[in-house]
Structure 1
Amino acid sequence: MILQAERLEVRHGATRALRDVTCEVAEGQVLALIGANGAGKSTLLRALAGLDAVRSGVIRLFGEDITGRSAHAVARRGLSLVPEGRQLFADLTVRENLQMGCYRAPGDRAAARLRFERVFGLFPVLRDFAERRAGMLSGGQQQMVAVGRALMGEPRVLLLDEPSLGLAPAYVGQILDVVRELADTGTAVVLAEQNAAAALRTADQGIVLSNGTVTHRAPAADLLADDDVSRHYLGVGGADDGAAPSPARVLPEGLRELRI
Structure 2
Amino acid sequence: MLHIMVLPAAILVFIFSYIPMTGVLMAFQDYKTSLGITGSPWVGLKHFRYMFENEYFMQITWNTLFFACSKIVMNLVIPFTFALLLNEVRNMGFKRSIQTLVYLPHFLSWVTLSGILIDMLAQTGLINLFLTNVLGTKAIFFLGDGSWFRFTIIFSDVWKEFGFNMIIFLAALAGINPALYEAAEVDGANRLKQTIHITVPSLMPIVIVVATLALGNVLNANFDQVFNLYSPMIYQQGDIIDTFVYRQGLLSGQFSFATAVGLFKSMISLILIVISYRLAYKFAGYRIF
TM range (shorter): under 0.3
Which structure features the higher share of helix residues? Answer: 2
Which of the two has higher C-alpha Rg?
2
Which structure features the higher share of strand residues? Answer: 1
Please report the TM-score for the alignment, with normalisation by the length of structure 2: 0.18
